[in-house]
Structure formats: C-alpha cells, structure tokens
C-alpha cells in the first residue's frame, strides 16, 4: 500500500505525509523503512487510537514547526533548535521538574539557547489534554482595575486565576507569576519560580543617569507556552519553546504600549520633552531611548538579545537560504515587521504567503480557566 492511500484511521495519512517529509529532507531513503514504519503506526492506531514519535522524528518535527512559524522573524537558526523530550512527565510535579531543567538549559547563564520542552501529547482517552495555563512560561503578574493597575495589565485575568488557586503575589510591578500545570488525571497545580531561575535584567541607560530610578526590569528568556505543536497529526499541547528577545519586543511593546506598562509618559517627562501635542514626536524620542536602554542593559548583563535591524537582516538571510533549498517561506507580514523603524528594514518592503503548514505551532482554542 502506498503511504498516501486512504486508511482506516485519519491519523495514518497525516503520519505518512510527515514521514515522507522526514525521509526526503533527511536524505535517508535507503536506511529508513517507510513502509514498515507506517505498518507499525497502523498497529498502534488500531490498538491505542494514537501513535508515538521516535526521538529523531520528534526532533525533526519540532525544528520544521519552527521553520514554518509564520509570525516568527527569528527563524534563521531553526536547525539548531534543542529538543528536550519530557514525554515521561505525567504529574504536575514531574512536569514542573522538567520545566525547571528546560528553563535552566535555555537560559544558559545568559547565553540563551533556542529550545523546546515537549511534555506528553494529547491522548484520545484523556478527558482533557496536558496544558500549561500560562501564555508565557515566565511573565509578571497584573493587579487592579482600569486606572489603578499595578504590574502587567495583560495578565490581570490570569493573575486572578492564580490567586483563586491559592497563590499570593507581593503586589509589586514585577511579581513573577507561578506556572499553572493542568495534567490529565490531576487537578491544576501551581509552582513558583525563584528569581535566580527566571533571570531578569534591571534597566539602565548608557547616557541618562536617572533611568535606573524608574525601577524597570524584564526577564531574559521569552518562552511561549500557549501553543500546540502538531507533528504528523499528534498534538503536543504542552510544548513551551523559546528563542531570544528582539529588543523592540520589550522596549517598543511590553513596556511602552498604553495597555501594558505605558512608561513613555514618565520617560518623556524626565527628558523634559514637550508632551502637549503628538507632533512634537515626544513618544518617538522617548521610545528610542527606552529601546536603547533595553539593548544596553541586556548587553551589560551578558544576556543574548538582538536589535530589530539585525534580526531583519537575519530573516532575509533565512529567506534566501530557504529559496536556495527550493522552499517558499511563509510569513505573516503584520507580525514580521518590527514595531520600531519598520520602513527602514527590507522586511517592510517584502511580503510572503501566509500559508498554514505542518508540522507547526498553533494557538490553542480558548479554554475556560479554572476559576
């Protein structure tokens, strides 16, 4: 039977498509018994309703998923993604122990390594799949209501969920949220990071001596934890992954957006800028200095970060490498352009098909958080 012919179980066709890609791109047509592997998968599907990837298949699939990530501008090192296999972690405590290992590995003392931590996949017999309820594995809590908010306003709902589960923060602007793990057969459970584990950077400025008085800080490693990794039809619903920050993510979004930390007015006031009208470009001038602070502070702390001009050049290198390999890059232009000086980059003046491909990382359907 040809692997693409119709089969009794719908996952078999997806498995066949993935394995054909695996064999073709790895160049292992002679060594890999594709027909035999598919027969094994068919037997697993008939017996268990699912199948299991080998470590090599898992690593390949995760790397291709990063290559296919439409919204990611940092895909140039996709081949070097470290794939940490934690599929044997089934309880919340086992899962958190695995995530602690992963965070330490990825952080690497500031020499950040791109990595993904893969917990057990969804199983048809489970009432609900394994989930990390946080949107980011490391982030700051948010408290209060509109007009009286402390911390990150974007995390107020999730902070309330954590409080309902028994967690209590110190009510500062930069309280590290706990990790909330929902594993099959267990109630959701929360676990706290130590300040040492979640490496942070206090922001200073190379020329503005008062900048440190603002008390701004940010965590070192961006870890997305609310997406599902789909490889050959198998859904890894708890598979947090990371690269390293583009400075503008912090300086031109997280700290500067009005609906987030909104620090530009205070910076402008300290710079004695005319804020009476937008035509003075006070936001632009404050924004540049905030971004200069982020890049300077991370560099001084020895933590890997990239500026938006450099990452755009790296993305175009990725595009040209993919074209040389006969592949068309997919991309969501609205996410790829940096939020600062966009039109000065080559990415701004290009576009790519926004195709959805697998293997890939996909946002989960909204779920009711435990309240």
The 8-class DSSP code of residue 253 comes to I
Is 75 one of the annotated active-site residues of the chain? yes
Is 266 one of the annotated active-site residues of the chain? no
Mapped onto helix, strand or coil, the DSSP state of residue 83 is: strand
Tokens 């905030």 belong to residue: 290
Q: Which residue is catalytic, options 37, 63, 67, 75? A: 75
pLDDT, tens digit, for every residue of 140-159? 999 997 778 899 999 999 99
The answer for residues whose C-beta is within 8 angstroms of residue 270's C-beta and 6 or more apart is: 208, 210, 211, 214
Dihedral angle computed from the Cα positions of residues 150, 156, 162 and 167, in that order, rounded to the nearest 10 degrees: 10
Contact 200, 91 (CB under 8 A): no
Q: Which residue is catalytic, options 249, 282, 289, 330? A: 249
How much is the pLDDT for 148?
Answer: 83
How much is the pLDDT for 8?
Answer: 63
Structure tokens at 82: 């470290």
Please give the Cα distance from 190 to 178 (Å, whole number): 6
How much is the pLDDT for 201?
Answer: 98
Q: Which residue is catalytic, options 63, 72, 282, 289? A: 72
How much is the pLDDT for 147?
Answer: 72
The 8-class DSSP code of residue 279 comes to G
Q: Which residue is catalytic, options 155, 244, 312, 322? A: 244
Those residues of the chain that have pLDDT short of 70 are: 1-8, 366-371
User: Long-range contacts made by residues 83-87, C-beta under 8 angstroms, separation at least 24?
Assistant: 83/58, 83/59, 83/115, 83/116, 83/118, 84/115, 84/116, 84/117, 84/118, 85/55, 85/58, 85/118, 86/117, 86/118, 86/119, 87/118, 87/119, 87/120, 87/121
Please give the Cα distance from 110 to 300 (Å, whole number): 11
How much is the pLDDT for 187?
Answer: 95
């Amino acid at each position: 039977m040809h692997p693409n012919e119709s089969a009794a179980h719908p996952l078999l066709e997806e498995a066949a498509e993935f394995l054909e890609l695996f064999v073709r791109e790895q160049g292992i047509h002679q060594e890999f018994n594709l027909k035999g592997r598919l027969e094994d998968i068919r037997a697993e599907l008939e017996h268990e309703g699912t199948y299991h990837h080998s470590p090599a298949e898992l690593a390949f699939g995760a790397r291709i998923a990063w290559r296919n990530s439409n919204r990611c501008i940092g895909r140039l090192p996709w081949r070097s993604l470290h794939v940490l296999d934690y599929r044997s972690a089934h309880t919340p405590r086992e899962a958190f122990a695995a995530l602690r290992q992963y965070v330490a590995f990825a952080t690497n003392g500031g020499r950040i390594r791109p990595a993904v931590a893969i917990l057990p996949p969804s199983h048809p017999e489970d009432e609900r799949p394994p989930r990390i309820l946080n949107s980011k594995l490391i982030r700051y809590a948010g408290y209060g209501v509109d007009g009286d908010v402390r911390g990150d306003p974007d995390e107020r709902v999730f902070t309330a969920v954590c409080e309902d589960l028994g967690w209590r923060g110190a009510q500062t602007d930069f309280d590290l949220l706990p990790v909330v793990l929902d594993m099959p057969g267990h109630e959701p459970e929360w676990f706290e990071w130590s300040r040492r584990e979640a490496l942070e950077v206090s922001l200073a400025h190379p020329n503005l001596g008062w900048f440190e008085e603002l008390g701004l800080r940010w965590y070192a490693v961006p870890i997305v934890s609310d997406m599902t990794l789909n490889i050959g039809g198998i859904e890894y619903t708890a598979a947090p992954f990371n690269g390293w920050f583009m400075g503008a993510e912090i300086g031109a979004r997280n700290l500067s957006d009005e609906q987030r930390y909104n620090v530009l007015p205070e910076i402008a006031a300290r710079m004695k800028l005319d804020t009476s009208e937008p035509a003075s470009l006070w936001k632009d001038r404050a924004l540049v200095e905030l971004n200069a602070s982020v890049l300077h502070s991370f560099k001084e702390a020895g933590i890997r970060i990239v500026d938006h001009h450099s990452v755009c050049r790296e993305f175009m290198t990725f595009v040209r490498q993919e074209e040389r390999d006969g592949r068309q890059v997919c991309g969501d232009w609205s996410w790829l352009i940096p939020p600062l000086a966009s039109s000065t980059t080559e990415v701004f003046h290009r576009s790519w098909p926004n195709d959805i491909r697998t293997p890939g990382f996909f946002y989960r359907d909204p779920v009711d958080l435990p309240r």
